[in-house]
A = this chain, B = another copy of it.
Amino acid sequence: MRTELSDRFGIDYPIFGFTPSEHVAAAITRAGGLGMLGCVRFNDADELDAVLDWMDANTDGRPYGVDIVMPAKVPTEGTTVDLDAMIPAEHRAFVDRTLAELGVPPLDTGAEHAAGVLGWLHSVARSHVDVALKHPIKLIANALGSPPKDVIDQAHGAGVPVAALAGAVSHARHHIDNGVDVVIAQGYEAGGHTGEIASMVLVPEIVDAVGNDAAVLAAGGIGSGRQIAAALALGASGVWMGSYWLTTSEYKLGSAAGESMSTIQRALLGATSADTVRTRIYSGKPARLLKTKWTEAWSKPGAPDPLPMPLQNILVSEAHQRIVASSDPEVVAMPVGQIVGRMNEIRPVADVMADLLAEFDAAAARIRDSAG
Contacts and interface: CB of A to CB of B under 8 A. Distances in A.
Interface of A: 1-3, 168-169, 187-189, 196-202, 204-205, 220-222, 224, 226-227, 229-235, 272-274, 337-339, 341-342, 360-361, 363-368, 370-372
Contacts of A361: 371
Contact of A234 (B204, B227, B272, B360): B227
B224 A204 contact: yes
A220 to B, nearest CB: 7
Contacts of A337: 201
A189 B204 contact: no
9 contacts: A168-B273, A188-B188, A197-B274, A201-B273, A204-B342, A227-B233, A361-B371, A363-B367, A364-B371
A338 B201 contact: yes
Contacts of A273: 168-169, 197, 201-202, 205
Given A226-B204, A371-B360, A372-B2, A196 B342 contact: no
A222 B232 CA distance: 15
A29 B41 CA distance: 56
A244 to B, nearest CB: 12
Residue among A197, A199, A367 with most chain B CB within 10 A: A367
Most B CB within 10 A of own CB, among A198, A226, A342, A365: A198
Nearest to A224: B204
Contacts of A3: 370
Given A168-B273, A187-B198, A201-B341, 17 more contacts: A1-B370, A2-B372, A169-B272, A169-B341, A188-B189, A189-B197, A197-B274, A198-B198, A201-B339, A204-B227, A229-B230, A229-B233, A230-B230, A235-B363, A364-B368, A367-B367, A368-B371
A198 B204 contact: no
Contacts of A222: 200
Contacts of A230: 200, 229-231, 233-234
A11 to B, nearest CB: 14
A199 B196 contact: no
A138 to B, nearest CB: 21
B370 A197 contact: no
Nearest to A218: B200
B205 A227 contact: no
Q: Which of A187, A224, A273, A370: most chain B CB closer than 10 A?
A: A370
A281 to B, nearest CB: 18
A338 B195 CA distance: 13
Nearest to A196: B274
Contacts of A188: 188-189, 198
A256 to B, nearest CB: 31
Contacts of A371: 1, 360-361, 364-365, 368
Contacts of A339: 201
A123 B245 CA distance: 51
B232 A367 contact: yes
B370 A274 contact: no
A339 B197 CA distance: 10
Contact of A200 (B189, B272, B274): B189
Q: Which of A168, A189, A220, A342 has the most CB of B within 10 A?
A: A189
